[in-house]
Structure 1
């Protein structure tokens, strides 16, 4: 215990003595914190396993550490400010992109819209309706053509049948006329004969 107390007193005395004698170092080999730390340890004396550090060197090292911390904090604040500005810029760009996308969607909707008789349709629906009407009209036209062809065929058949009946009637009429003339001649002959008989009897 006494040895430990004696060692502590000796270290304090030697440190005070060294502080009075050693000036602050004006030059350093490596200005980095690690270089200053290693330089400070290299310049420190060891007594009974303890390092005797010059307070001027320790103060300089502490100042360098504080300056580095302050500089890092300043850089961190600057980075945060730049990051906030970039986030604002990104938000503004996102808003512009969203507006452009909405405008594009609206333009595409207008381009895809067709108005007919005051009713708005998309091109797809309009094409579907138009083609449906075309197909319905084509089917109706086909039905009309088929029925017309049937009626035309029926009309031709009836016309030919009428012509055939008309020809038969005309032939019958001609024959009847001939027969009537023949009967009239025969009747006239009989009358003539009857008149002759009457004249002979008188």
Structure 2
């Protein structure tokens, strides 16, 4: 059987099809990579109030003080009482500080929760560093159990060099707990403090 020679049009069509297929594969790959890339971007830049992680506080502090407010929320599907132990702290920039949140499981069975978090104003996220936090891991509470959960943090002294933040004296650290087996629709970069802050 004699094969029909390829025409310029059929060769062109094959090239277009191959390019189109490559674009589709690239878009699918980008879609899968977009979430971790977005999270990495937020962690590096503090975008959306995403806080940073650090091994230790810096060795030097600067002569500037800020007020940290603490906000606590729970998803409606999580039968916990969750609140900050302290309403606020006056901190020195660059100094390690400790705060505590209290959670109580009001149900008759053990529940594991996971916390998402952010700070406001969003622009301070790049300078708010956590060393240790209950939000780094899931938390399991037995029926009726109450626990106090610590977070240690510091404000990066580099904040004094950000002229856009010269007038910022207050930062709100906000957490929302969700059942660990229930994917939250709110990422840590999207959660904002509620109007009902449960600050008692």
What TM-score do the two structures reach when normalised by structure 2?
0.22
Bigger strand share: 2
From the CA coordinates, give the structure whose radius of gyration is larger. 1
| TM-score normalised by length of structure 1 | 0.21
